[in-house]
Chain A
Amino acid sequence: MKALVLRVAAMLKNKISYLTLRLALFYFVKRNPEAAKRLVEIDGKVFKVVLEEAGNEYYLLIKNNRFKVIEKIDNPDGTISGKTDAFIGLIRKRYDPDELFFKRELTIEGDIGLVTHLKNTLAHL
């Protein structure tokens, strides 16, 4: 019984983090059409977001100034990994991304120019 509860709790947490991510990205574009125009410079690029402790991976495609969550691909252009709390802290503006980067609570791989572009574009939120 306890195992089942824990499994359901984990599933719910994953679902919540997934929905939070989608919602945050939706509102980013909706509330910042001027800033979202910058996404055209990384149109067609795919970023992998890894929620470390949950073991979840999401693949975000930038298309037509919007974010689209897509199926797994083999070679994303950039990868950003961290704990769920780090991402939620960024979305809620409790943390500075560079501060997490220095502490290695947020790690980045792949094309760093593109990841930096994404980070800076999201900062316009």
Chain B
Amino acid sequence: MPDRVELCAPAGNLPSLKEAINRGADAVYLGFNNDTNLRNFPGLNFTFKEIAKAIKFAHRRGKKIYIAINSYPQLIQLEQSHKDIDEACSLGADALIISDLGLLAYASKKYPSMRLHLSVQAGASSAQSIIFYQKTFNVKRVVLPRVMSVEKIAQINKETGCEIEVFGFGLLCINYEGRCHLSSYLTGESINTYGACGSPRFVRFEENGENLKVMLGETCLNKYPKNTAIAYPTPCKGYYHNLEKQGFEYAFQNPQSLNVLEILPSLIENGADAIKIEGRQRSQVYVGKAVSSFRQAIDSYYDKKEAYSATQESNGELESLFEGSSFTCGCYAEE
């Protein structure tokens, strides 16, 4: 591992990838433009040719490309997943990010020298589970769910010795990734099979002058009064009627974004080897701002150590990108 924590940025297209690398990302993660990855939004992601260009661009600058093939394929999708693993390896990816046991078996057997990262979608959150993946598939890094405390991360680091990647910025998923079926329940499509929760094709926005009604399938997720900020139309951010309390509430989570700048030193000192920025669905502008802020913060931590503080400037730059009205350190800061 490098002597500084790795900054791992998202890219849904070539301009974002170039922006990420030019602004200081050490690695960029991306996916093919099909349902083998979990940001399978229409028009997003990379063709084979674009991935080849991306790898060339990154490697010339000494940066890494990780390819996410992290859906749980159904039988009909299996051939495509195998093909994507083959292509990613033939193109020279630096690592594959996988969650499915069958795909891990395929990749580790066919490409024993390929570096494997365990996707957050595997929901591995205990030392025992991670050790299983290390021993069985020679997994080198685990991407931890966003629901773990720093204390727990330190414990896993100590017990497994596995490289640890944590989410540092972006959407705050409150569920153990890979185990959430809310979207399936409302639309019949799950993020784990089709690659998007609250798939856009099920979303309807109905404006009636007073309110903006947001529908996902046949379920109303929210009615926003005029001029109020809105959130992504995902089931976990629905404002539902609670029959017991006789009122509306965010039953699962308030729309808030994750931002760990304030606790960055603690995450690094407790075992994080890589900080991941969420958001392959976002634009080049988002990627550029997020990467710049985190590059500056990481360098500032190593250069100043004791004097590190999340600057107003960095937070201010990031604030405009937030979903919801505020940010949070989420579960990381919990005891």
What residues of chain A have their CB less than 8 Å away from a CB belonging to chain B? 34-35, 38, 41, 93-99, 101-104, 107-109, 111-121, 123-125
Known: A97-B283, A113-B200, A123-B283. A104 touches B229 (CB 8 A): yes
Interface of B is mostly: loop
Known: A93-B284, A96-B282. A124 touches B322 (CB 8 A): no
Inter-chain contact A98/B282, CB cutoff 8 Å = yes
| B162 CB–A CB distance under 8 Å | no
Inter-chain contact B43/A98, CB cutoff 8 Å = no
Surface stretch bound by A, among B9-17, B73-81, B101-109, B131-139: B9-17
Give the chain A neighbours of B207 by CB distance below 8 A: 107, 109
Bound form: Cα–Cα A8–B44 in Å: 41
Q: Which of B13, B43, B286 contacts A96 (CB 8 A)?
A: B286
Inter-chain contact A93/B285, CB cutoff 8 Å = yes
Give the chain B neighbours of A107 by CB distance below 8 A: 205, 207, 212
7 shortest interchain CB distances as A-B pairs: A120-B43, A113-B201, A117-B42, A116-B200, A117-B43, A121-B43, A112-B203
Q: Which of B43, B230, B320, B324 contacts A118 (CB 8 A)?
A: B43
Bound form: Cα–Cα A84–B194 in Å: 35
8 A-B residue pairings within 8 Å (CB atoms) = A38-B43, A93-B285, A98-B282, A102-B324, A109-B205, A112-B204, A119-B43, A123-B16
Inter-chain contact A120/B199, CB cutoff 8 Å = no
Known: A116-B43, A118-B43, A123-B16. A96 touches B230 (CB 8 A): no
Inter-chain contact A99/B50, CB cutoff 8 Å = no
Bound form: Cα–Cα A112–B49 in Å: 28
Min CB–CB distance B321 → chain A (angstroms): 6
Bound form: Cα–Cα A124–B11 in Å: 11
Contact with A along B13-39 (1 / 0, CB 8 A): 111100000000000000001000000
Residue of B at shortest CB range from A94? B285
Q: Which of B47, B284, B323 contacts A34 (CB 8 A)?
A: B47
| B175 CB–A CB distance under 8 Å | no
Inter-chain contact A99/B205, CB cutoff 8 Å = no
Bound form: Cα–Cα A38–B41 in Å: 12
Contact with A along B256-295 (1 / 0, CB 8 A): 0000000000000000000000000111111001000000
Inter-chain contact A102/B285, CB cutoff 8 Å = no
6 further A-B contacts with Cβ under 8 Å, apart from A93-B284, A111-B201, A112-B201, are: A96-B285, A99-B285, A99-B320, A107-B207, A112-B200, A113-B201
